[in-house]
């Protein structure tokens, strides 16, 4: 399949491109190369590259013809930054998504996979999990703009028959993730011998999925999913932030004394968890990685690639 991957030079996007190419797909990466997108993330991977912004209809119309499917990773994706600069997230996650959806329709592309997040649902108490029918209740500018993009995709399918598929994922971790995110931020701070700051009491819970599993799941949705459908991709592996921090300290050779507790951020959701049963039943897909092994692998990548993050 000839794929155009928007945001393909970023963390998840570059891993997706690597796996897609290995499976025989022809890939064009379309990326604005903001601070989270880096050409070096695609080193050694056969692909065509176009520098462009999904908010630019002319650039999209020039890039899309000849492709059979589009995958959209292009978005602002860090909650803290969205709180400081919400306009940036409205621009990319709302306007950009709408521009891309309309460009797909104009250019008669056969398939669009829009990648989203579990954060659009808000928080859920244990032992509950979000079903695909769960109401949207975002708590941050990031999650609100992602929810808006999702809704636009769904509406375009209902109104025009635009061939959109949606995938909502849990937290993803692995090599090449920008150090503003929790795992790489704490790893790089610990490797420098610095303290790490946990919001609130550190007991906020997240579901964690290896980036390779996430990419495999997205390819499965792209290849076998139904147009207009929503799919959940997750691992079922939960950690509260304090427990995760202790696991990182152990792998980085730090001590618990390096943990400090700081004032909580506004709108900080307590817990996310996706119900994966519908995806497993329809597509037969589930994550297979062992969290402890992949977390060690992630720490070792940052240890070996200091120049990448320093």
Model pLDDT, residue 77: 81
Q: Which domain holds residue 98?
A: 2-175+210-236+273-289
Helix axes 291-304, 182-191, angle to 10 degrees: 50
Q: What is the largest CA-CA distance in the chain?
A: 57
Find tokens 């928080």 and name the residue. 123
* Domain annotation covers residue 70: yes
* Domain annotation covers residue 96: yes
* Domain annotation covers residue 308: no
* Domain annotation covers residue 202: no
Q: Is residue 76 over pLDDT 90?
A: no
84 pLDDT band, cuts 50/70/90, is very high
pLDDT in tens, 150-174: 999 999 999 999 999 999 999 999 9
* Domain annotation covers residue 306: no
Model pLDDT, residue 301: 98
Model pLDDT, residue 190: 98
* Domain annotation covers residue 304: no
| CATH number reported for the structural domain that contains residue 282 in this entry | 3.40.50.720
Find tokens 């420098």 and name the residue. 192
Give the Cα separation of 107 and 3 in Å (integer). Answer: 14
Beta bridge partners of 236: none
pLDDT in tens, 236-294: 999 999 999 999 999 999 999 999 999 999 999 999 999 999 999 999 999 999 999 99
259 C-beta neighbours (distance < 10 Å), count: 17
* Domain annotation covers residue 282: yes
CA angle 122, 284, 15 (to 5 degrees): 65
Domains in the chain: how many in total?
1
Model pLDDT, residue 195: 98
Model pLDDT, residue 104: 98
Beta bridge partners of 230: 166
DSSP secondary structure letters along 133-178: TPPP---SHHHHHHHHHHHHHHHHHHHH---EEEEEE-EEE-TT--
Catalytic (active-site) positions: 118-119, 142
* Domain annotation covers residue 256: no
Q: Is residue 78 over pLDDT 90?
A: no
pLDDT in tens, 29-72: 999 999 899 999 999 999 999 999 999 999 999 999 999 999 99
140 pLDDT band, cuts 50/70/90, is very high
Q: Which of 217, 218, 114 lies closest to 163 in space, CA to CA? A: 114
Percent of the chain surpassing pLDDT 70? 100
């Amino acid at each position: 399949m000839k794929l155009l991957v928007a945001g393909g030079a970023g963390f998840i996007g570059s891993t997706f491109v690597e796996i897609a190419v290995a499976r025989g797909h022809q890939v064009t990466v379309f990326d604005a190369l903001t601070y989270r997108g880096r050409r070096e993330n695609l080193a050694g991977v056969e692909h065509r590259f176009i520098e462009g912004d999904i908010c630019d209809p002319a650039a999209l119309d020039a890039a899309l013809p000849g492709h059979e499917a589009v995958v959209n990773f292009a978005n602002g994706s860090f909650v803290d930054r969205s709180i400081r600069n919400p306009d940036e997230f409205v621009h990319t996650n709302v306007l950009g998504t709408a521009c891309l959806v309309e460009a797909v329709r104009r250019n008669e592309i056969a398939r669009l996979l829009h990648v989203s997040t579990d954060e659009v649902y808000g928080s859920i108490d244990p032992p509950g999990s979000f079903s695909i029918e769960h109401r949207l209740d975002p708590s941050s500018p990031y999650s609100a703009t992602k929810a808006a993009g999702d809704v636009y995709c769904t509406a375009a399918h209902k109104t025009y028959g635009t061939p959109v598929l949606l995938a909502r994922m849990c937290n993803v971790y692995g090599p090449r993730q920008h150090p503003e995110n929790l795992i790489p931020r704490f790893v790089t701070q610990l490797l420098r011998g610095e303290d790490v700051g946990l919001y609130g009491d550190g007991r906020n819970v997240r579901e964690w999925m290896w980036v390779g599993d996430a990419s495999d799941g997205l390819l499965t949705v792209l290849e076998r999913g139904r147009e207009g459908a929503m799919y959940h991709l997750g691992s079922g592996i939960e950690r509260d932030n304090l427990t995760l921090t202790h696991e990182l300290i152990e792998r980085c050779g730090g001590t618990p004394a390096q943990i400090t507790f700081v004032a909580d951020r506004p709108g900080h959701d307590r817990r996310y968890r996706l119900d994966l049963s519908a995806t497993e039943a329809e597509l037969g897909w589930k994550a297979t990685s062992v969290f402890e092994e992949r977390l060690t692998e992630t720490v070792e990548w940052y240890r070996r690639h200091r120049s990448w993050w320093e």
